Amino acid sequence: MARIIGIISGKGGTGKTTVSLNLGAILAHHYRKNITLVDCNVTTSHLNLYLGMYYCPVTLNKVLRGENTIEESLHDHFSGMKIIPASLSLADLEGIDIMDIRNKLKEIFDKNDIILLDSSPGLGREAMATIKASDELIYVTNPYIPFIMDIIRCQEVANELGIKTLGIILNMVHGKKHEMTKHEIEELTKLKVISTIPFDTNVHKSLALKMPISLYKPGTSASRELFKLASHIIGENYKEESFWLRTFRRFRS
């Protein structure tokens, strides 16, 4: 049976969707896991746009309305993962109950190793539905106090529901003195920081190309941290590429 992992953020702009799609791509392409990535942000969906999937005839919205099965909403990505997109149309917000998402996903539990739920930011109805549908949670945040305080609020909800938290991903870290440190964040949240992903301009280039950074430039600092994160999630040892192989990749790119 699949692990259902919710990717959560307290605020928009943390890079949550970018982390989600890269995790899915690495787990499917590199580790050969059966992965489905679900866009649970039905009001302001972005996932399919990030991946260049502009035409998606069957979406999560139609599944929630009972018009299609969850199997029919699966779209193949070249990395090997499956995508369940949300609709880009405002009209498709009518007649859906996002709280029913876990029940709808039951149909594909046995066909996946991990189902990743890309949540909407905050603690609105969509985010609450994602948290409740998850077996485990990962928080994506930036190293600044307002972002961290939102994670604490999210964790209070998770604690009340008895949902396991895998930890915090610090994203877009510049390594500046004005940023909160890993130790400070762990002390404040009482949660473990499981990954620190540095700011990398190649991420923006990869988004423009509609390609996960982990596939576009796997040797960059951000990509290497994403690979480490993916291996941590599935409990496998991460073996970093040699200096010469990374140099060769940079030369080719």
Residue type, 63: V
Residue 244 dihedral angles phi and psi, to the nearest 5°: -70, -35
What are the boundaries of each domain within the chain? 3-252
pLDDT band at 24 (very low <50, low <70, confident <90, very high): very high
The pLDDT assigned to 237 comes to 85
Greater confidence (20 vs 240) lies with 20
For range 225-235, the mean pLDDT: 97
Query: What's the confidence (pLDDT) of residue 90?
Result: 76
pLDDT tens figures, 179-200: 999 999 999 999 999 999 999 9
Whether the pLDDT of residue 244 is over 60: the answer is: no
pLDDT score recorded for residue 156: 96
Confidence of residue 252 (pLDDT cuts 50, 70, 90): low
Query: What is the pLDDT, as a whole number, of residue 46?
Result: 87
Q: What is the pLDDT of residue 245?
A: 55
pLDDT at position 201 over 70:
yes
Per-residue pLDDT at 194: 98
Contacts (Cβ under 8 Å, ≥6 apart) of 202: 213, 216, 217, 220, 222, 223
- CATH no., domain 3-252: 3.40.50.300
Please tell me the distance from the alpha carbon of residue 238 to that of residue 183, in angstroms, as a whole number. Answer: 23
Q: What pLDDT was estimated at residue 242? A: 59
Look at residue 148 and tell me whether its pLDDT is greater than 70.
Answer: yes
Q: Cα-atom radius of gyration of the chain, to the nearest Å?
A: 18
Looking at every residue in the chain, the average pLDDT score rounds to 92
Q: What span, in angstroms and rounded, lies between the C-alpha atoms of 86 and 39? A: 6
Say which residues have a Cβ less than 8 Å from residue 30's Cβ, sequence separation at least 6: 214, 227, 230
Of 29-33, 50-54, 92-96, give the lowest mean pLDDT range: 92-96
What element of type H or E holds 60?
A: helix 60-64
Strands 193-198 vs 164-173: parallel, antiparallel or unpaired: parallel
d(CA 210, CA 12): 20
Q: What pLDDT, on the 0 to 100 scale, is given for residue 213?
A: 95
| DSSP, residue by residue, 78-102 | TTS-EEEPPPS-GGGGTT--GGGHH
Q: What is the mean pLDDT of residues 77-93?
A: 89
SS3 of 101-160: HHHHHHHHHHHCCEEEEECCCCCCHHHHHHHHHCCEEEEEECCCHHHHHHHHHHHHHHHH
Please give the structure tokens belonging to residue 184: 């400070």
Name the residue with higher pLDDT: 196 or 53: 196
Q: What is the DSSP string of 30-51?
A: TS---EEEEE---SS--HHHHT
Q: Check pLDDT > 90 for residue 50.
A: yes
Percent above pLDDT 90 for the chain:
81
